[in-house]
Amino acid sequence: MLNIVIFGAPGSGKGTQSARIVEKYGLTHISTGDVLRAEMKKGSELGIIAKQYIDQGQLIPDDLMIHILGEVLDKAANPQGVIFDGFPRTIPQAEALKTLLAERGQEVAVMLDLEVPEELLMTRLINRGKESGRADDNEETIQKRLQVYHTQSAPLIDWYKKEGKHRLIKGYGELEQIAADLFEAIDHS
Ligand code: ATP
Ligand code: MG
């Protein structure tokens, strides 16, 4: 059982690299951003609530997000393991994930931290916004999301360092090189 957390600022390439990891290790991909966007598309009650936060570049409140993750995890039963993309984003979420996995006799093997310079994140997200049509990929909301990342999510780096699970990965340059570095970190976890 291999449980991985892929971490990084908005636009750091978590989704892109998760696909590579899923292909190589046969994991289930849980992207909380994708889960929330699917709910928004359906126009469900959860989607309507999520949209209010996402459009402002804010995080969905922890209690709600942790509840959603628990439900998704129950459905994801995969003996190979899971890659968590976009969760945890706060320390309470990291603590909740630890508990949820421990209840199942599991744990996070490694936290892969994709490091990308801020100017590059900005250009990547603005370009993505042109194609994705994502309402949160506009300059003003991107700035807000980066700020939220620094204040609420970046403290997870130290949290996972204390757990002995943090691995810093250079998240720019050749896609193949990034994937190779991620595989190496996973294989040595
Ligand atoms: P990337 O481009 O690296 O995939 P991202 O930040 O652009 O990352 P998503 O992970 O898709 O995008 O998340 C989009 C939005 O969904 C976030 O800005 C936030 O509002 C909400 N969200 C996703 N995951 C969480 C979470 N774990 N806790 C709270 N809110 C979340
Ligand atoms: Mg994503």
For the segment 113-141, the average pLDDT, to the nearest whole number, is 93
Instruction: Say how many domains are in the chain.
Output: 1
Range of the domain at 45: 2-183
pLDDT, one tens digit per residue, over 26-41 is 999 999 999 999 999 9
- What count of residues does the chain have? 189
pLDDT at 64 over 90: yes
**Does 189 fall in a domain?**
no
CATH number at residue 67: 3.40.50.300
Q: Which ligand is nearest to the CA of 145?
A: 1
Tell me if 9 is assigned to some domain.
yes
Within a domain: 109? yes
Contacts of 49 (CB under 8 A, 6+ apart): 60, 64
Rounded to two decimals, the pTM is 0.95
E-only strand ranges, the chain: 4-8, 28-31, 82-85, 110-115, 166-170
Predicted confidence at residue 132, as pLDDT, reads 85
List 134, 144, 161, 165, catalytic entry: 134
Lining ligand 1 with CB less than 6 A are 8, 10-12, 14-15, 32-33, 36, 53-54, 58-60, 65, 86-87, 89, 93, 136, 145
* Mutational pocket test of ligand 1: of 31, 52, 89, 141, the residue with most ligand atoms within 8 Å of the beta carbon: 89
Q: Going by CA atoms, what residue is nearest to atom 2 of ligand 1?
A: 11
128, part of any domain: yes
The residue whose CA has the least distance to atom 9 of ligand 1 is: 33
In a domain, 117, yes or no: yes
Q: What is the model's pLDDT at position 27?
A: 97
- Residue 188 domain-assigned? no
pLDDT band with cut points at 50, 70 and 90 for residue 133: confident
pLDDT confidence bin for 80, thresholds 50/70/90 = very high
